[in-house]
Amino acid sequence: MIIIPAIDIKDKKCVRLTQGRMDAETVYSTDPSEVAKKWESLGAEIIHLVDLDGAVEGNAKNFDVIKKITETVKAPVQIGGGIRDIKTAELYLDTLGVKRIIIGTAAYDNPTLVTTLTKKYPGRIAVGIDAKDGHVAIKGWVTVTDEKAVDLARKLEGNGVACIIYTDISRDGMLTGPNVEATREMSESVNIPVVASGGMSSIKDIVAYKGVNLEGIIIGKALYSGNIELKEAIEAAKA
């Protein structure tokens, strides 16, 4: 299980949102590439990037900022937010050479896109499933659908998806602890590797996930607030 630090980008800045609300942001840096360098220096094996503006608008809104990050660090990056067509996917995978992209809204709205991309880029397509009260949330978490998160995950079986990044948005940015049981249900419902995201508040939360079959844990606000130190988190995950 690996620890993956998150960098959320809005208006070219590194920010954290509370429960995904675009109007509830805290700015942590005006240069996300410097933040990426910091996480790399502390041992990050992969860095998780989210284009928050892109997630809402459906395009690569902060492409230049993300390009600078990939040119600044040697650590691989994964990127999500606004990737809803082949052109945007190619922009990240071919032009920038990122490790993998994360399809969110399009996995719900346009599942054939996922199939097309997994065939063209095997092992480099992840799906982000964001859930509120167990139901899929899309378009930057603005819209909550009627579909259950685990049902969407099951539809991805056998589709070549590298992993599912599962986020409980009611916990995200709240520092209240993750929804371990919902994450466990997700990991036990599919044979696709699962990465947990949302609500991490202390090293104890990493320990709480020890009984869950996870590829990794994404940590955001807790790193920026100082509740979790990245090096300590990495050691706890390996213990």
Q: Which of 154, 210, 202, 150 is nearest to 180 (CA)?
A: 210
User: What does the alpha-carbon distance between residue 78 and residue 128 come to, in Å, rounded to a whole number?
Assistant: 11
* 6 and 218 Cβ atoms separated by less than 8 Å: yes
pLDDT of residue 142: 77
Q: What is the pLDDT of residues 34-45, one digit of tens each?
A: 999 999 999 999
Report pLDDT for 171. Answer: 76
Full-model pTM = 0.94
Q: What is the mean pLDDT of the chain?
A: 94
Nearest partner of 232 among 185, 196, 222, judged by Cα: 222
The Cα-based distances of 162 to 27, 52, 117, 126, 159 in angstroms read 31, 22, 11, 5, 9
Query: Domain residue spans in the chain?
Result: 2-238
Beta strands in the chain (DSSP E): 2-10, 13-18, 21-29, 47-51, 77-80, 100-103, 125-132, 135-138, 143-148, 163-168, 194-197, 216-219
The predicted pLDDT at position 17 comes to 84
User: What confidence score (pLDDT) does residue 172 get?
Assistant: 67
Residue 4 C-alpha from the chain's centroid: 9
Strands 163-168 and 194-197: parallel
For tokens 């009611």, the residue is 170
Extract the residue ranges of the chain whose pLDDT is less than 50: none
Which pLDDT score is estimated for 173?
A: 66
CATH class of the domain at 2-238: alpha beta
Where in the sequence numbering do the catalytic residues fall?
8, 130
Q: What is the pLDDT of residue 9?
A: 97
Please state the φ and ψ torsions of residue 59, each to the nearest 5 degrees. -155, 180
